[in-house]
Structure 1
Amino acid sequence: MLSDLEKTAIRDHYQNIAKSLPHFRPRAAQRQMIAAIAQAFSRSQSVSGEAAPEREGESIVVVEGPTGVGKSLAYLLAGGIMAQTRGKKLVVSSATVALQEQLVGRDLPFVVQHSGLTLTFALAKGRGRYLCPYKLYQLTQSNAQDSLVGFESPNVLWDSKPRPEELAQLRVLADEFAARRFNGDRDTWPEAIDDGIWFKVTNDRHGCLKAACPNRAECPFFLARETLDTVDVVVANHDLLLADIGMGGGVILPSPADSFYCIDEAHHLPKKALSQFAAEHSLNQALWFLERVGGVVDKVAGVTDKGELATLADEAAQAVIESLQEWMMHLADEPTLAAHDGFNEPSWLWPDGVVPNSLELLVNNTALSAQALLKNLNHLNDALAAARRDQNQDGPLIDRLTGELGMMTARAEQVEAVWSQMATTTVEGEAPLAKWVSRKMTDKPDYVFHASPISSASKLANGLWRRAAGAVLTSATLRSLGNFDLLLRQTGLIWLPETTCVALDSPFDFSQQGELYIPTLAASPKDVTAHTAEIARWLPKLVSHAEPIGTLVLFSSRKQMQEVALRLPESHLPLLLIQGELPKNILLAKHHEAIAAGKPSVIFGLDSFAEGLDLPGEACVQVIIAKLPFAMPDNPIEKTQNRWIEQRGGNPFLEITVPEASIKLIQAVGRLIRTESDYGRITILDNRIITARYGKQMLACLPPFKRIG
């Protein structure tokens, strides 16, 4: 229950914003969101002793907040106050870097300045965004004369002898960091840093020397992590949040039990989670590192007196090599993976995640060998850590071996993750794992092994929701076909019955600000050629080549987008800006320049332009949607998921495809009205929205624009 102190604090700080800004208008939907978050977080149960309380979603709220509500202000104000009064951290997670930067650079400073609420905050990034000073100094000192002196096993760090320009880049980084003109955060370097170079100077948790590192005091990663311990609000992204949860929680970010989460752009979370929990590895890359395990563990044995462990690790590595070589023979004979002239790489999907009978023994043997390798490498890492505490040991040598062994351990962990899932047999009634092999179309034959859950619901429910002190999930579009069912199923919140769902009203008057036009087309999108011709015929009628307004035309297919562009009359070609032909920032700049100069401009875009693109005012007066945004279930995870739904008597098109398309359509339509003064027209060039039953459902969920035509 909310205390009187919390109620007063929320009211007073919100009123401070209104007093501080003459043109600020409190919005009913924003106040409703603030109240919903505060009420949910007030129901959080305290953790007593070691046992965490059984959570049923009582402190979780799902809020659909349309554009214009002011969601970030609502969750930062309510979440910040509740976190302070309840002794929690506020962890804000977004799907995009753009929103992270907006939160840290604009929204949080705004709340602090105008509300009077004292909030400290910091941006959280993954370890890979920071350089490792120890590795950087070692590389630049050892290579001072363009040599590799000091590296007993240079192939661990370099695939070949470093080029002079690579060494020069490393020295510049080292000089700038030593002079404190560079803080070690890759994103603050004024120019792009080549991935190959950056990989040499960053680190992972396996190769890190931690407290024993001689450069620990100036380590950008640990300095950033120490900052997170001192602030009220931690701004992260979904990938970092999910990586932390995957490691048990509280490793990178504050622990779930001590955190209130504000998950913005929450509709991205399920697919982000699937990507995080999936595993894959290349056969050739695995062989490359496995062949080097013996040399590294022998050197480790020399300073740890763990010869037996080193032998076991080497034997396990050799066993994995033998298994992978056997895989190469099997895969070379697999007709599904035969080379073809198409653009897509061939793949071999195992239906329902069931390993072919002839390969069961090989799968299990590969998994056992990979597990043994990882186990023994971890033991050797522990032995190195113990040796480092021995003052009589060669510290620099141990540090160098720690980095080399850490790299081996990280790669072994990746391989083990794949084969553990490959060898997993799903319990009857549970969702299967998707398992497949793809062939890389390169000069040297290579294959990639993949394994993935088909749903992230269970991992999110058990790893996050049942452990978090509280959470708000929000986005402009969370409902599908008028309800939250799809999101609740995909995130696992369906199993937490006390979860609250709130759909806020839009502040816009859609019936006055916008029109909806659905012209009668002679062709159905099912006939792609005829439908493409129809779009090309209609666009010149819909888009004036003289009226100085912006038009956004959204396609579901790049091929169709390009073919329509080729068929436009010459009068419209100078107006056209096509996604992919220019960098996004340059394309948008040219679009705004044309509108400012009193000229029309037309953007042709794909799915990614249907979300997050903000073109207020005259920059977007018309949105034309070429066809309903149905996704083709063409990846192995979706194919496995659809088979599972069908086997349970369901219809994947109605259960998954239509609801997801409904969300995408609402997002696309949402590009039109971005402010209370915007106006314009939505045109949908797909008659299925009025002829098909599912289309009518999707149409009913769109904003109440005035229908014309």
Structure 2
Amino acid sequence: MLTDIEKNLLRDHYRAISENLPGFRPRAAQRRMLAEIANAFGRCSMPPADSEQAPEDNSGDSIVVVEGPTGVGKSLAYLLAGGVMAKSRGKKLVVTSATIALQEQLVNRDLPFVIEKSGLPLTFALAKGRGRYLCPYRLYQLTADTAQGELLAMDPSMALWERKPEQAEIDALRELADEFYYRRWNGDRDTWAENIPDDLWRRVTNDRHGCLKAGCPNRAECPFYLARDTLENVDVVVANHDLMLADVSMGGGVILPAPEQSLYCIDEAHHLAKKAVNQFAAEHSLAQAMAWLDKVPALATRVQTLIDKPELCANAMDAAGACMESLTEWLWLLQGVTELEANSDNLEPSWLVEDGVLPEHMKIPAANMALSARALYKNLTGMADAIGALRKDKQQDAVLLDKLNADAGFFVGKVEPLVALWDLYEREPDENAPPIAKWVTRRADGKGDYIFSASPVSAAGSLAANLWRRASGALLTSATLRSLGNFDLLLSQTGLKWLPDVQCVALDSPFNFSEQGELYLPPLHATPKDPAAHTREIIDWLPRLVDLSQPLGTLVLFTSRRQMQEVAEGIPAELRQCVQMQGELPKAVLLANHYAALKEQRPSVLFGLDSFSEGLDLPGEACVHVIIAKLPFAMPDDPVGRTLSRWIEKRGGNPFIELTVPEASIKLVQAVGRLIRTESDYGRVTILDNRIVRQQYGKRLLASLPAFRRL
């Protein structure tokens, strides 16, 4: 429950904003959102300060889902409520988003605004993955004498190169080293003025396997550890969904604060479920695995001469050999899979394992491969730990030991996806649980290769167990979270449906849709099921829909690049001259051209695909007409979608009604949402798909749209 002190703090800081911001108008929806978040976080458990154990009976009463339409002011609400409650309850506020744009907005604009205007003393930092930071030790190995700060000639025996570096690369490394040594650069890749090529950057960054950790002589100046230390001392940590999910998959508290000590504000939450599925997926190349497995004995032999644990090295060599034998057996097994036979029509065929259940003759080979991969991982990590322990005692051999440690870390990093993939291949979920999609793709490049892939079709169980039941509290928010008028799809896909006390709130929009906008459904004859006829009808209608006599902006959204291009080719030249089409120029340039045309009193028409239907902000006369060419149905043609659809069908369901239509509803609302962005906006939405009036599901899609006037 909220304490009186917390209630007063929330009230006082919100009042301070209204007093310090000229023209500020309290919004009922924003005030309700702030209250819902505070009340949910006020129900978070209060374990002892040194405890990282979540209560076993976590029912989700400290979790709230809030759909906040455009114009509500969501970020102010959750930063203020979350900031007050996190400081009051001794927690970290972890704010995550799906896009870089929103992260930058939070760090550069929203958080400074809340702190300045409300008077709430918050410290904050942006969290990034280790791969965004320089490894000083690696850079100094390649370029510099750290004692004198003088860059030395390249020593090929120490360099982390598989080829002789080019002079330009050496010069670039020297510049990086010089700028970092004299603290003119902080070691964050994103703060370097120019683009650093990936091939060069991977030689001077690091991963958790190759890192010397506390034994590194440059630990005190390591940008990654300095950034992580900063996260431990701030009130608010801003991250992205991928980093949060990666941290959770590693057990939590590895990069970000532990879930038990965190209050999460997850913005753009409609992306979370699919990002989680991707996070828990795995794949590896058969050919590449065989190549690095062949090198494990050489590493083990080198390590064996230094550490007093010969069984680790012997077991690693045995496990690597067992992996190679199993993969060789799989190479033979795949020769008999007819779906993987290449032909002139399909040079890279794919085989989807039906229902995620391997044929009987493949189950034992899969189990053997999983067992061998786990044994290899165990012994390689043991070798790496032994090298690290030895380095503490033999400083005179530091260079040699560090090279061995980096090599061992390289192989540990390689075997991890191997373990992940074969754990999934070996696993068969319970009868009522969603399946695991498993597929193999044949590659035609080089001497040929096979790519093994696997993915859970749902991350609901993992999210429920590893995040929601452990978190002190959480807010999930976005402008569009409901599908067909309810939260069922989101709750199901994220695993929140298993927490009975989760609160779901749909806030009212601050806009008067019935006065600001109108909806037009032209009497089309062609259905999108006849693509050619539908395209011809769009070409016929567009000149009638777009008024070229006024300097106004129009947004036309397509679900198919091919149809977009065919329409662009078929419309009259006068209209085509006004079109800015996605793919012809970078997005930023297209938008700049769009605004320039309007400024010059010329009409402008944007042609865009799915990415233009979300996150694109065109207020005022930059967009007074949104034309939707086709309902945004995404048919499941990928392995994960096909496996899930088949599972739904086998259980007597209809995947089109249960998945495709609800997901289309969310996308349609997002697309329509491009029209009204402020309280003074106006305009029209036109949908050029007659299924919305002819099909039964069309009524449900229409009912979920804003209450525009119908023409």
- CA–CA distance in 2 between the matches of 1:378 and 1:19? 58
Determine helix, strand or coil for the equivalent of 1:304.
coil
Q: What amino acid is the match of 1:334? A: V
Q: CA deviation at 1:619?
A: 1.1
The TM-score with structure 2 as length reference comes to 0.97
Q: Distance in 1 between matches of 2:683 and 2:315?
A: 70
Secondary structure of residue in 2 paired with 1:230: coil
Instruction: Look up the equivalent residue of 1:353 and give its one-letter code.
Output: G
- Alignment of 1:134 with 2:137, yes or no, is yes
Change over 3 Å in CA distance of 1:147–1:636 after alignment to 2: same
After superposition, what is the alpha-carbon deviation per residue over 1:460-485, rounded to whole angstroms, capped at 9, x for unaligned?
00100000000000000000000000
Alignment of 1:59-138 (within 5 A): 59-138=62-141
Aligned counterparts of 2:231 and 2:278: Cα–Cα separation in 1: 26
Tell me the residue number matched to 2:594. Answer: 591
**How far apart are the structure 2 equivalents of 1:592 and 1:569?**
22
Q: Could you say what secondary structure the match of 2:23 adopts?
A: coil
Q: Is the contact made by 2:481 and 2:490 (CA closer than 8 Å) also made in structure 1?
A: yes
* Other-structure match for 2:291: 288
SS at match of 1:565: helix
State the Cα distance separating 1:146 from its structure 2 match.
Answer: 5.1
> Does structure 2 conserve the Cα–Cα contact (< 8 Å) formed by 1:260 and 1:469?
yes
How many angstroms apart in 1 are the aligned matches of 2:174 and 2:658?
56
Identity %: 63
2:383 equivalent to 1:380? yes
Cross-structure match for 2:207:
204
User: Residues 277-332 of structure 1, C-alpha deviation per residue, up to 9 Å, x if partnerless?
Assistant: 11111222222321222222222222213332112112211221222233333334
Give the 5 Å matches for 1:545-556.
545-556=548-559
Q: Does residue 1:405 correspond to 2:413, yes or no?
A: no
Distance 1:179 1:58 in 2: 51
CA contact (8 A) 2:54 2:471 kept: no
2:339 maps to 336
CA displacement 1:144-164 (0-9 Å, x = unmatched): 54552235xxxxx43433233
User: Hey, what does 1:154 align to over in structure 2?
Assistant: none
3-state SS, counterpart of residue 288 of structure 1? helix
CA distances 1:372-391 after superposition (whole Å, capped 9, x unpaired): 11010011112112112214
For 1:339 and 1:200, the matched residues in 2 are separated by 37
Q: Residue 666 of structure 2 aligns to a residue in which SS?
A: helix
- Checking the alignment, whether the CA contact within 8 Å between 1:60 and 1:500 is kept in structure 2 is yes
- Which residue in 2 is equivalent to 1:353? 356
Change (3 A) 1:441 1:475: farther
**Structure 2 residue aligned with 1:511:** 514
Matched residue, 1:689? 692
Residue 191 of structure 2 corresponds to: 188
Q: Secondary structure at the match of 2:306?
A: helix
What SS does the aligned partner of 1:359 have?
A: helix
What corresponds to 1:471 in structure 2?
Answer: 474
Q: Tell me the distance in 1 between the aligned counterparts of 2:447 and 2:183.
A: 44
What is the CA distance between 1:345 and its match in structure 2? Answer: 4.3
What is the CA-CA distance between 1:104 and the residue it aligns to? 0.3
Query: Which deviates more from structure 2 when the two are superposed, residues 160-169 or residues 628-637?
Result: 160-169
Pair 1:29-2:32 in alignment: no
2:257 counterpart residue number: 254
Unaligned runs of 5+ in 1: 152-156
5+ residue gaps, structure 2: 146-150
Partner of 1:360, secondary structure, is helix
Give distance in 1, aligned partners of 2:139 and 2:441.
Answer: 36
Please report the RMSD computed on the Cα atoms of aligned residues, expressed in angstroms. 1.6
1:163 aligns with 166
Task: State the AA in 2 paired with 1:600.
Answer: P
For residues 71 and 239 of structure 1, the distance between their equivalents in structure 2, rounded to whole angstroms, comes to: 21
Does the 8 Å CA contact 1:298/1:307 hold for their aligned counterparts? no
Contact 2:347 / 2:443 at 8 angstroms: preserved in 1? Answer: no
Question: Aligned pair in 2 of structure 1 residues 571, 441: CA closer, same or farther (>3 Å)?
Answer: farther
* SS of alignment partner, residue 389 of structure 1: helix
Structure 1 residue 84, shift from structure 2 partner? 0.6
Distance in 1, matches of 2:391 and 2:167, equals 33
Tell me, what secondary structure is at the counterpart of 2:706?
A: coil
Match of 1:444 in 2: 447
**Secondary structure in 2 matching 1:590:** helix
Q: Which amino acid aligns with 2:158?
A: G
Distance 2:347 2:124 in 1: 44
The counterpart of 1:423, out of the listed 426, 433, 436, is 426
Alpha-carbon distance change, 161 to 317 in structure 1, aligned in 2, over 3 angstroms: farther
| Structure 1 residue 562: Cα displacement | 1.1
Aligned residue for 2:559, secondary structure, equals coil
How big is the shift at 1:50?
A: 6.5
Contact 1:515/1:706 (<8 A) preserved: yes
Tell me, in whole angstroms, the C-alpha distance in 2 between the residues paired with 1:553 and 1:623: 6
Q: Does 1:148 align with 2:156?
A: yes
CA distance in 1, matches of 2:63, 2:273: 16
CA distance in 1, matches of 2:567, 2:352: 34
Q: Which residue of 1 aligns with 2:148?
A: none
CA distance in 1 between counterparts of 2:134 and 2:347 reads 36
1:543 partner letter: V
Q: How many residues get paired?
A: 703
Counterpart amino acid of residue 62 in structure 2 = S
Whole-angstrom distance in 2 between the partners of 1:344 and 1:688: 37
Preserved CA contact (<8 Å) 2:144 2:177: no
| Partner AA of 1:218 in structure 2 | E
Partner of 1:52: 54
Rounded to whole Å, the distance in 1 between the matches of 2:419 and 2:396 is 32
1:9-28 alignment, distance < 5 Å: 9-28=9-28
Instruction: State how far apart, in whole Å, the 2-side matches of 1:331 and 1:198 are.
Output: 37
1:29 maps to amino acid: A
Distance 1:631 1:344 in 2: 25
User: By how many angstroms is 1:131 displaced?
Assistant: 1.1
Name the aligned partner's letter for residue 483 of structure 2.
S
Shift of 1:119: 0.4
Of 383-392 and 99-108, deviating more is 383-392
1:277 corresponding residue in structure 2: 280
Aligned to 1:237: 240
